[in-house]
Amino acid sequence: MDKNISEENSFIKKYFSSEKWKYLWYTLSHPMDGFYWIRRKDKGSVPIAILLVVCFSFCFSLNRYLASFVVNDINPRSVNSLSELGGVLLLYVLLCVGNWSITCLMNGEGRMKDISIAVGYATLPLILTFIPATIISRAIAADEESFYYMILAVGIAYAVILLLIGIMQVHNYTLGKTLITLFLTLIAVFIIIFLMLLLLNLISQVYTFFYSIYTELIFRA
Amino acid sequence: MKIKAWKSVLAGTLAALVLSLSFTGSVSAEDLPYNPYAYDYWEDVVHTPAAYEPAGMIRGGDLLYNGESIGAFINPQDLCKSEDGNIYVADTGNQRIVVLNQNMTEVINIYTTFDNNGAEDSFNMPTGVCVSSKNWLYIADSMNRRVVILDIATGELMGIVENPQSDILEAGYVFTPLKVSVDYADRVYCIAQNMFEGIMVFEANGEFTGFFGTIEVQISLWEKFWRRLATKEERSKSQLFIPTEFTGIDVDSDGFVYATNIDLEGLQAVRRLNPRGEDVIKQGENENVGGDLWIEGSTDYAGPSQITDVVYRDKGIFSLLDRKRGRIFTYDHEGNLLYIFGGLGTQIGTFMAPAAIESVGNQIVVLDSNRAAIFCFNETEYGRLINEAVRLRYDGDETQAVEMWRQVLILNENFELANSGIGKAYLTAKDNETAMYYLRLGMNREYYSIAFKRYRNDILKANLNYILTGMMVIIIGYLVGSKIVKKKKGIQKEEDILNG
């Protein structure tokens, strides 16, 4: 019993300590140094990164659902936060795995852990802008849309910059090499999706094969 | 059997009772041979009450002329209405024009022959008819390659339009008129077979003056790219980019020509051509005047609507007839889709090969060439309210239209035009919050924003005291707070220095 509690405590201490949270904000304002020390001194936390991705998915759905109708062309009936969460998490995993598999071959220094932290932390500006943008959207009229879009654009731009710097610093790359690896990452993601679909198709064919044997036996017997 | 009959009598009386009592006498959905629907802002199908219900079928065999049956229509291709309300049917296969009275119960006249400079002349496949304001009958006599103009009262020949001469026509061009229409100045607009350059226009004296409303060919960048790559030989073998032919034509009271064509993308199947031949149609909120919005699929039933005829009704309302799925689409003057009804089938009120549409009084009349019959549709309460509201709106009488829109909403809560109309009325009445509610339901961004701005200003004005006080409190609080923190830090530092 005591051991359990202490284990739990150590988990929280290890991954959600106030130090880690503070370092998240430090990384946001000092991405160069921040991501560098995440790799060298284990200053980051994977659970926090995953939590951020989940939060981002939530904010994304919230924005689609609640943004004022002046700026929102989405049918609220078509918003499904759970499937969007699944999509975002899948994309996150694909990006991390894709990047890891490419950088492994290209002398990247980052481990899987560091890559997932870099990608996860990069969603923080999105979380920080999507919620205020959604609130502001409810206080604007049709010709003031640019405020809303500007906030969103700033968030997305900063997230992209963070992602770029994060990958760059974690692997100790130059900017050019980072861009090349990101491009290759995208290709890797497509290859992974392709292979997954292929596998799924094969499995379903094997399944139907055995199922047809089963039905044949049933009818014969 | 007996019980059944008794039951049906009871049901009939009950229905009659309900109909007489109820405010709206619309047919229930199960009785209709089609599912009426419309599209909402998101281009989703929404089911609506029927705007028109089938009111009967008129076949040639049922009609009497001079005590004798006139015989079935054979492949009739066109019908039109004269100003006195009579209906003219181009009974193509029987080489005749049949004139019916307004209720289509009696045959008034049949044109089969006319006196052509002393010789008796007849028609060969008349495919189009039109009556001008002078009460002249224009007949597109397709296989005789001419348009025949007769005086309705006397049946005398008033002129023949044939053999157009012009430099812009190819040598050896054979003029085969299919549909014909006339404007207030007796100009003849003619849709001719294999004439892709546009509608042919003839002056009152029969002289060919040129083409009208040419449909420009859209070549995508991708097609241009491929043509660039192709060799000369390949290019000569590839399909030519030919504009589509017009299919139906109608002229409104101001002389604007409504002309339909088959659009392969299903985006714009009707053009409203001004006297210079420019398209001035408005395309509404869905940016579409091409019939159905959802056209995906690979069956014969899928694909864009094939609009085959148009009727301009009044006050900007016009209806399109789709021969692919037998539907009738009605739009207002801004190009907003009002209602859809009709379908394919063999019941009364469904078609097999709809060919022409006309509006007679409050009825819509459709000619089916395959079933050789005329189908009538009566306005329901729902259709009447919408038509009335749109007419009032067209005249700028939005306040009166609101009452109609309210009743439309009782029948169909999701009708966006009604919500937006009511919202606009509240906006003029300065009830901004209610206006916002309705304009939001009507998906009207522009007017919603106006209402919202006013509403926001009102709130700001009403609460200005609190807002300003709040801001003062925050600013003062911040100043005082930061001073205290500074002082504390200063003390801390001094202590640190003393200690350290």
- Three-state SS sequence of chain A: CHHHHHHHHHHHHHHCCHHHHHHHHHHHHCHHHHHHHHHHHCCCCHHHHHHHHHHHHHHHHHHHHHCCCCCCCCCHHHCCHHHHHHHHHHHHHHHHHHHHHHHHHCCCCCCHHHHHHHHHHCCHHHHHHHHHHHHHHCCCCHHHHHHHHHHHHHHHHHHHHHHHHHHHHHHCCCHHHHHHHHHHHHHHHHHHHHHHHHHHHHHHHHHHHHHHHHHHHHHHC
What ipTM is given for this predicted complex? 0.76
- Min Cα distance A61 → chain B (Å) is 19
Both tokens of A29, joined, read 């304002």
Domain-located, residue A4? no
Check if A179 contacts B (Cβ < 8 Å): no
Domain-located, residue A93? yes
Residues of chain B with C-beta less than 8 angstroms from the C-beta of A139: 456
Instruction: Give the model's pLDDT for residue A212.
Output: 95
Chain CA centroid to CA B155, Å = 34
Residues of chain B with C-beta less than 8 angstroms from the C-beta of A141: 449-450, 452-453, 456
By C-alpha distance, the chain A residue nearest B40 is: A75
Check if A4 contacts B (Cβ < 8 Å): no
Check if A66 contacts B (Cβ < 8 Å): no
Round to whole Å and give the CA distance between B261 and A18: 70
By C-alpha distance, the chain A residue nearest B440 is: A69
Q: Which of A64, A70, A143 to mutate to test the interface with B (most CBs of B within 10 A)?
A: A70
Across the interface, whether the CB atoms of B445 and A143 are under 8 A apart is answered no
- Min Cα distance B294 → chain A (Å) is 17
Q: Give the total residue count for chain B.
A: 500
Pairs of residues, one from chain A and one from chain B, whose beta carbons lie less than 8 Å apart: 21
Both tokens of A48, joined, read 């926090």
Q: Computed from CA positions of residues B191, B197, B198, B204, in that sequence, does the dihedral angle turn out positive or negative?
A: negative
Across the interface, whether the CB atoms of B44 and A75 are under 8 A apart is answered yes
Instruction: Give the model's pLDDT for residue A175.
Output: 93
Site of tokens 């509240």: B426
Across the interface, whether the CB atoms of A70 and B448 are under 8 A apart is answered yes
Q: Which of B42, B44, B449 sits opposite A141 (nearest CB)?
A: B449
Residues of chain A with C-beta less than 8 angstroms from the C-beta of B456: 139, 141
Given a contact cutoff of 8 angstroms between Cβ atoms, the answer to whether B281 and B307 are in contact is no
- Min Cα distance B443 → chain A (Å) is 8
Instruction: Give the model's pLDDT for residue B302.
Output: 85
- Which residues of chain B are modeled with pLDDT < 50? 1-2, 14, 17-27
Non-local (6+) Cβ contacts of B453 within 8 A are: A141
Instruction: Give the model's pLDDT for residue B30.
Output: 61
Across the interface, whether the CB atoms of A141 and B42 are under 8 A apart is answered no
Residues of chain A with C-beta less than 8 angstroms from the C-beta of B448: 69-70, 142
Round to whole Å and give the CA distance between B268 and B167: 31
Instruction: Give the model's pLDDT for residue B20.
Output: 47
Round to whole Å and give the CA distance between B342 and B396: 31
Domain-located, residue A171? yes
Instruction: Give the model's pLDDT for residue B287.
Output: 82
- Which residues of chain A are modeled with pLDDT < 70? 1-8
Across the interface, whether the CB atoms of A75 and B443 are under 8 A apart is answered no
Domains of chain B and any CATH numbers:
51-217+239-379 (2.120.10.30), 404-462 (no CATH)
Instruction: Give the model's pLDDT for residue B10.
Output: 52
Largest Cα–Cα distance of chain A, in whole Å?
74
Long-range contacts, stretch A62-68, CB < 8 angstroms, 24+ apart? A62/A130, A62/A131, A62/A134, A63/A130, A63/A131, A63/A133, A63/A134, A66/A134, A66/A138, A67/A133, A67/A134, A67/A137, A67/A138, A67/A148, A68/A137, A68/A138, A68/A139, A68/A140
Across the interface, whether the CB atoms of B448 and A139 are under 8 A apart is answered no
Considering its fold, how many domains does chain A have in total?
A: 1
Instruction: Give the model's pLDDT for residue A13.
Output: 77
- Which residues span the domain enclosing A121? 13-184
Residues of chain B with C-beta less than 8 angstroms from the C-beta of A70: 445, 448-449, 452
Check if A143 contacts B (Cβ < 8 Å): yes
Instruction: Give the model's pLDDT for residue B391.
Output: 92
By C-alpha distance, the chain B residue nearest A73 is: B42
Check if B450 contacts A (Cβ < 8 Å): yes
Across the interface, whether the CB atoms of A141 and B446 are under 8 A apart is answered no
Single-letter amino acid, residue B292 = D
- Min Cα distance B430 → chain A (Å) is 17
Q: Give the predicted TM-score (pTM) of the model.
A: 0.81
Domain-located, residue A34? yes
Single-letter amino acid, residue A15 = Y
By C-alpha distance, the chain A residue nearest B44 is: A75
- Min Cα distance A64 → chain B (Å) is 15
Across the interface, whether the CB atoms of A70 and B456 are under 8 A apart is answered no
Check if A79 contacts B (Cβ < 8 Å): no
Across the interface, whether the CB atoms of B440 and A142 are under 8 A apart is answered no
Residues of chain B with C-beta less than 8 angstroms from the C-beta of A143: 449
Both tokens of B380, joined, read 């329901």
Q: A58: closest CA among A135, A130, A157, A137?
A: A130
Round to whole Å and give the CA distance between B380 and B20: 14
